């Protein structure tokens, strides 16, 4: 049962970080270069998750849930930016 709860938490974290990444990157692209927007988005999401996730995620090590997801979207965003 705990594995199911952890999986559901991971899914919610994935969709929340996906939405944050998309919206923050688009907002910051208007002000600064796309690469710097990706970097700042990763930093903002990392700090937000660092301070908020221990209160929301029941997994023993919440950083193991949000950091790989945030890093995944960081790399994907950088690849998209470099192609354009």
DSSP letters, 24-71, are HHHHHHTTS-HHHHHHHHHHHHHHHHHHHHHHH--SS-THHHHHHHHH
pTM, rounded to two decimals:
0.79
- Chain segment 14-41, per-residue pLDDT in tens: 898 899 999 999 999 898 998 999 999 9
pLDDT at 70 over 70: yes
């Amino acid at each position: 049962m705990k594995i199911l709860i952890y999986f559901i938490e991971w899914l919610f974290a994935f969709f929340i970080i996906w939405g944050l990444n998309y919206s923050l990157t688009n907002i910051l692209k208007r002000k600064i270069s796309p690469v710097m927007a990706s970097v700042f988005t990763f930093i903002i999401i990392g700090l937000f998750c660092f301070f908020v996730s221990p209160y929301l995620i029941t997994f023993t090590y919440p950083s193991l849930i949000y950091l790989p997801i945030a890093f995944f979207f960081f790399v994907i965003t950088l690849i998209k930016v470099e192609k354009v």
